[in-house]
Amino acid sequence: MRFDDKLGIRRMWLALAVLGAVAAGGVPALGAAARAAAPADTVYRNGFVYTVDARDSVRQALAIRGGRIVYVGGNGGLAPFVGEKTRVFDLHGRMLMPGLVDGHMHPLQGGAALLKCSLNYEQLSIGQMQARIQACLDATREQEPDGWLEVVNWFQEGMVPAGVVTNSETLDALKTRRPILIASSFGHSSLVNSRALEIAGLRAATADPLGGKIWRDAAGNPTGLLDDAAQALVSGKMPSPTPEDDVKSAQAALDAMRKQGITTFLDAAAERPALEAFSKLRRDGQLTARAHFALLITPSEGRDPATATDKVVALSRRYDQGPLRPEPGITARNVKLFLDGVITAPAMSGAMLQPYFAPQGDGAGQSWAPGTNRGPEVYFPAPILRSLLKSVVAAGFEPHMHADGDRAVHEGLDGVQAVREAFPKKDVRCAIAHDEIVDPADFPRYRELNVNPVLSFQWEKPASDTVDNARDYLGPARYKYMEPAGFLSEAGARIAYGSDWPVDPLDEWFALKVGVTRTNSPAALPKYAGRLSEDPGLTRAAVLRAITMNSSYELHQDRFTGSLEAGKFADFIVLDRNVLKIPAEEIAGTKVLQTVAGGRIVFQAEGF
């Protein structure tokens, strides 16, 4: 299909959104007279209302009607909005702020993980790992000998002692005949037993798939460890979840999200099962957060940009609901591209400009020096990436790219530059997620190209993955810039937030605390004390803006959410503490007392 024959999806969406807003009395048509014409459905008074508007204003009160905010200001201005049927909440000084907008997560997988055998992201020895998995096997003995066991939330980078090797023999030692797959919490590696390798037909002669790696022993035989696209060689042999299973996973995900205060999310690698499950919940009135989907294009699909674009156009036409409304709905207006893997050992599948360091010698005299491994080639070669990005942008989509290593980041920025040159007047919100290592020369390009770095703040702390499995492998020149949120902010980048759940537990408030302090939990091991790298970190206002207004901008939703202003959707949360005033370490303990999406209370803590 030629570009000029394709549906102008983005143009249509924006036109319909503006018409819908005007018809519904929204931004910018909702004037003062209209706002005061009738009592509000609900008002909140006596609060610390943090608006995240252009001035970071703090007010006392807020009123909502028909799913929209009709008043933000002082207590004295509430009188016209309070009628006989108006519900009134006295906040008693509590903090009220915009709902959280998580700009990068994997909700179906996150919800499913809550229902599966889990290693809970913990640092484990091989013996501890085996004991946990055996307990799951023992609890499901009725599935012997052929039922698959899928284990999730394996903190591969946190295995103890550091450098421990895992392979199929680790799992073959368990008392079972069942095939087993253990998924790393990072999502880029899996470990399988010999039975699973046999079922999948993986042998020495099996070639590595495009964008993936089969780890092998000295004889070339698979060891059981699989990276990136190679994981599908085994996971594709597992029984697929039923549509009912997917709906249960989506329900579990939404329940976890509303308790955290999330009112909007982006599924950052969406495929049909997630689209179907969340669409079913929307039809049943159970969608409690605005659901955006970045439609996955794999490296192999990207070799044919026209066909890949046709695929996402078809999915968008089927699932996208059109104009945004106060009640949570579904959009499918982004595309997801994985440019590389992860920078940490043992995978070291992040694409780097310069080689990873490697140990020289052993024992007390061991040192580290640059080796020969730069990680894989970027999964979408530069000419293909440029062609694909221009194709999907021409069709109305916005690119969302995974890039961990500085070479992947650099080539992603080059791809966006090609988009800007091809469409100089088009409002395209391009995003690069993770950005864990960025060449300092590329810092200013985010602002120059208007690229949103979507960062997972919880990684910005000393931990096994950022210390034991990164510091020596990266070398001092790169390590000083690891997780460069503060450096990017100083260079003028508009930083958005994305949890990447279930890569980590869904704990937005711990992530925000780390974004400010760059420190681990006080309960962490002593060797993980202190701050990570030389990055200055972000202010409290900056991390809150990243998870509200900036993520809304990333998702092309900033006209409707991200700040508390008259005419915008009534998406907000009430907290048990004022995160702008308490000691920074205490931000991690924040509890959400109430979550409101489109004027509807979707979560309320007991006793509020």
List the single range of 182-196, 498-512, 567-581 with lowest mean pLDDT: 182-196
- For the segment 118-130, what is each residue's pLDDT rounded down to a tens digit? 998 888 999 999 9
Helix (H/G/I), strand (E/B), else coil: 190: strand
Buried-state track 515-529, b at ≥16 Cβ within 10 A, e below 16: bbbbbbeeeeeeebe
Tokens coding 79: 């009188």
User: Who's near 214: CB < 8 A, 6+ residues apart?
Assistant: 202, 206, 208, 222, 226, 227, 230, 233
Residue whose C-alpha is closest to residue 290's, from 317, 320, 269: 320
Query: What pLDDT does 19 receive?
Result: 40
Average pLDDT over residues 517-522: 96
- For the segment 231-266, what is each residue's pLDDT rounded down to a tens digit? 999 999 999 999 999 999 999 999 999 999 999 999
296 DSSP β-pair partners: 336
Residue whose C-alpha is closest to residue 39's, from 79, 72, 11, 95: 79
Residue 32: pLDDT band by 50, 70, 90 thresholds? low
Average pLDDT over residues 323-343: 97
Which sign, positive or negative, has the C-alpha torsion 395, 398, 401, 407?
Answer: positive
Average pLDDT over residues 398-414: 98
Tokens coding 13: 């969406």
Contact between 28 and 38 (Cβ < 8 Å): no
Biggest CA-to-CA distance, the chain: 80
Residue whose C-alpha is closest to residue 467's, from 408, 526, 402, 536: 526
Can you tell me which residue has the tokens 């993520």?
A: 551
Residue 35: pLDDT band by 50, 70, 90 thresholds? low
* Exposed/middle/buried for residue 567 (C-beta within 10 Å: 0-12, 13-18, 19+): buried
Helix (H/G/I), strand (E/B), else coil: 427: coil
Q: Between 20 and 137, name the one with better pLDDT.
A: 137
* Edge-first strand listing for the sheet containing 431-434: 100-105, 262-270, 290-296, 330-338, 398-403, 431-434, 452-455, 496-497
Average pLDDT over residues 328-336: 98
Please check the confidence at residue 20 and state whether its pLDDT lies above 70.
no
Residue 292, Cα to own-chain centre: how many angstroms? 12
C-alpha distances in angstroms, 128 versus 159, 353, 395, 479, 500?
10, 37, 50, 31, 26
- For the segment 359-398, what is each residue's pLDDT rounded down to a tens digit? 998 877 889 999 999 999 999 999 999 999 999 999 999 9
Helix, strand, coil percentages for the chain (3-state, nearest 5): 35, 20, 40
Share the mean pLDDT of the chain.
93
Residue 186: pLDDT band by 50, 70, 90 thresholds? confident
Rounded to an integer, what distance in angstroms lies between the CA atom of residue 343 and that of residue 404? Answer: 6
Alpha helices in 236-346 (DSSP H): 243-260, 272-283, 305-319
Average pLDDT over residues 59-64: 98
Domains and CATH numbers, the chain: 3-99+568-604 (2.30.40.10), 112-235 (3.10.310.70), 243-554 (3.20.20.140)
- For the segment 267-276, what is each residue's pLDDT rounded down to a tens digit? 999 999 999 9
Average pLDDT over residues 44-67: 98
List the single range of 1-15, 67-81, 187-201 with lowest mean pLDDT: 1-15
Please check the confidence at residue 455 and state whether its pLDDT lies above 50.
yes
Residue 36: pLDDT band by 50, 70, 90 thresholds? low
